[in-house]
């Protein structure tokens, strides 16, 4: 699991990479859990499939690559409750599934090479937009005289209920055990969210779609990082972008 596409390419196809002895590969199965663009995942998958196994076993004729990014963050990793989104050969997925379930509670097969990476980008895009919407609603509510605690009760028993309101509330003082309760320390860094939104924006351009919220979210998190909040959890957008107030 590596930070970016360039790191993945270097580790696999670089001068000292895993594939440097491409004619003779020992591992049958390679799994990359980085959050990167689908194009890079497919590129590495093709490079792996062009190699030859040093020792053929069972029905494996060539080494196989799976892109298998995760969702759940640090807390889920520590608790072993991650969700793996997996792209590549379905046979390889089934072979690897026990490995995924030893580290997480869900493993979802998404399709061919690159679809795991695509699913992760879409998930994080939705997560960012959701957090922005919830933070915006809390900030507006506070300005209209509704406490965040009260509005949380309303949201979580109404149609606006979502993960950002009921499990990862961004308002300090409302929920224990979330980054907002510890001055936005830990969790999922804003710089990583900005990186993932950049991947989403690039994919939108390649697909030729109209996705204004993708660009707006990317702009907000990029600005947040430039203002010095890159290592704070991405829910800090409530405080630093919307100027939301702590719950007393």
CA–CA distance, 4 with 227 (Å, rounded to integer): 22
| Active-site entry in 43, 120, 191, 195 | 120
CA–CA distance, 77 with 241 (Å, rounded to integer): 29
CA–CA distance, 16 with 44 (Å, rounded to integer): 15
Centre a 10 Å sphere on the Cβ of residue 144 and count the other Cβ atoms it contains. Answer: 8
195 carries an active-site annotation: no
In the numeric block, the tokens 């950002």 are attached to: 164
Centre a 10 Å sphere on the Cβ of residue 8 and count the other Cβ atoms it contains. Answer: 24
Structure tokens that stand for 213 in this block: 């919220």
Detail the DSSP E strand segments found in the chain. 29-32, 64-67, 70-71, 82-87, 104-111
Residue 214 buriedness (CB in 10 A; 0-12 / 13-18 / 19+): buried
Positions annotated as catalytic residues are: 120
């Amino acid at each position: 699991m590596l930070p970016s596409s360039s790191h993945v390419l270097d580790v696999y196809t670089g001068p000292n990479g895993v594939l440097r002895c491409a004619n003779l590969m020992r591992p049958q199965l390679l799994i990359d859990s980085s959050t990167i663009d689908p194009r890079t995942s497919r590129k590495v998958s093709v490079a792996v499939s062009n190699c030859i196994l040093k020792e053929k076993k069972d029905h494996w004729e060539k080494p196989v690559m799976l892109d298998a990014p995760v969702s759940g963050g640090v807390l889920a990793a520590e608790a072993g409750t991650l969700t793996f989104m997996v792209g590549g050969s379905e046979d390889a997925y089934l072979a690897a599934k026990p490995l995924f379930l030893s580290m997480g509670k869900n493993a979802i097969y998404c399709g061919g090479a690159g679809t795991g990476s695509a699913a992760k980008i879409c998930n994080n895009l939705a997560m960012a937009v959701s957090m922005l919407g919830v933070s915006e609603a809390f900030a507006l509510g506070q300005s209209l005289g509704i406490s965040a605690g009260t509005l949380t009760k309303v949201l979580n028993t109404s149609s606006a209920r979502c993960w950002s309101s009921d499990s990862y509330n961004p308002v300090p003082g409302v929920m224990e055990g979330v980054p907002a309760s510890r001055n936005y320390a830990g969790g999922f860094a804003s710089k990583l969210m900005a990186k993932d939104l950049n991947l989403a924006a690039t994919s939108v351009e390649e697909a030729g779609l109209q996705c204004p919220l993708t660009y707006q979210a990317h702009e907000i998190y990029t600005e947040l990082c430039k203002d010095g909040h890159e290592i704070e959890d991405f829910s800090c957008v409530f405080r630093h972008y919307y100027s939301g107030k702590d719950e007393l």
